[in-house]
Amino acid sequence: MAALPRLFYVTSGLDEANAFATWSAVISPLFEPRPCLRGSKSPTGSAFGVIIGDLVVAKVAFNAQDFVRDEQRIAATADHLLLHLYVTGGFNGTVTRQQTTIGPGKVALIDLAYPLATRAFASRTVCLVVPRKLLGDLPLETLKPRLDPLRNDLLAAHMLSLQERSAQLTTDDVASTVADTADFLRRLLAPTAPDTLEPQRDTDDTILTLTEALIRENLAAPELSPDWLAQRLDVSRASLYRLFADRGGIMRYVQERRLLAVQAALSDPLDTRRLSRLAADLGFKSEAHFSRSFRARFGVTASAYRQAQLEASATIQLTSPAVVQQWWTTVAA
């Protein structure tokens, strides 16, 4: 069970010229980064991602800048679909043939078969690159850059979940992960009449996905409880108990989510929070409670786990920008 190749590009700490050169090389298969205004800071950014077979999922952070994708880049790289979730920040501009504005919590559906020109704010994002071949006969020519609120929330939840567990995936997980993601996207992006969306909100799968996302977003909230979740989701408490019965109950699931969120943070070279800060941010009662819980769950201390992950990244990380270009060429072929 070999680990998957990781992409790790960090420009913090570099001088402005080197930071710009590194960032430009990393994203050059997709976009040309440009300063927003004359005299403004050079575009820079950092990314930590994992190549999952035909998919790439990554956390990306960047300063304010313009992004341009022109006909030359379209001709040189595959016309994949880029799903870009803005955790913070956003942009306005032309993507997927339409003028649009994207803010926090929204996913931009970017069809790379078309030119792009956007002005982005300083942002923290999660991106998922999906080859068209995985999407079957979806009529992507009708795709719009924004989804309705329900499907946006479902897509955001899926992307955050995939990114969170990506560093723990192995080669044995690739086929099922790619197949599950492709199947989810084909169902989510299929043309749907507006009057069919509301009934979908009441299905068990939808409620479960939205509940998991709400838990993930509020792990440190003191009010997090079955009653609070039921009220926020407008469902009965009995329905929640039923949906989480095979997960050991809601609050056991919450504790497991906390531990998995810690594991993901410790696997992320871009996440440099102290262990005490992680414990507070993710809702543990104390640092001692956090330490005991992590060791009981994973059989190692949190500090030892973080060190092992850093060493693993140093061993298998792919820091040459040529790796990104190779992925595009290989998947396109």
Domain ranges of the chain: 1-144, 201-328
Contact 43, 33 (CB under 8 A): yes
Within the chain, which residues score under 50 in pLDDT? 197, 199, 317-318
Q: Please state the pTM of the whole predicted model.
A: 0.85
Tokens 């040529």 correspond to 322
Query: What confidence score (pLDDT) does residue 3 get?
Result: 78
Yes or no: domain 201-328 corresponds to CATH 1.10.10.60: yes
Which residue type occupies 270? Answer: L
Query: What confidence score (pLDDT) does residue 118 get?
Result: 97
Cα angle 10, 106, 135 (rounded to 5 degrees) comes to: 85
Half-sphere exposure of 27 (CA within 13 A, CB side): 28
Query: What confidence score (pLDDT) does residue 196 get?
Result: 52
Element (H, E) at 88: strand 81-88
Which residue type occupies 300? Answer: V
Per-residue tokens: 277: 């800060």
Residue 64 CA to residue 41 CA, distance in Å, equals: 8
CA dihedral angle for residue 138, residue 142, residue 144, residue 149, rounded to 10 degrees: -60
**Helix %, strand %, coil % of the chain (to 5):** 50, 20, 30
Q: Where are the alpha helices (DSSP H) in 218-301?
A: 226-233, 237-243, 250-267, 275-281, 287-298
Query: What confidence score (pLDDT) does residue 331 get?
Result: 75
Query: What confidence score (pLDDT) does residue 194 get?
Result: 52
Query: What confidence score (pLDDT) does residue 84 get?
Result: 97
Query: What confidence score (pLDDT) does residue 10 get?
Result: 80
Find, among 136, 127, 142, the residue nearest to 7 by Cα.
Answer: 127
Residue 95 CA to residue 208 CA, distance in Å, equals: 31
Query: What confidence score (pLDDT) does residue 198 get?
Result: 52
> Domain 1-144 falls in which CATH fold?
Jelly Rolls (2.60.120)
β-pairing, 91-95 with 116-120?
Answer: antiparallel
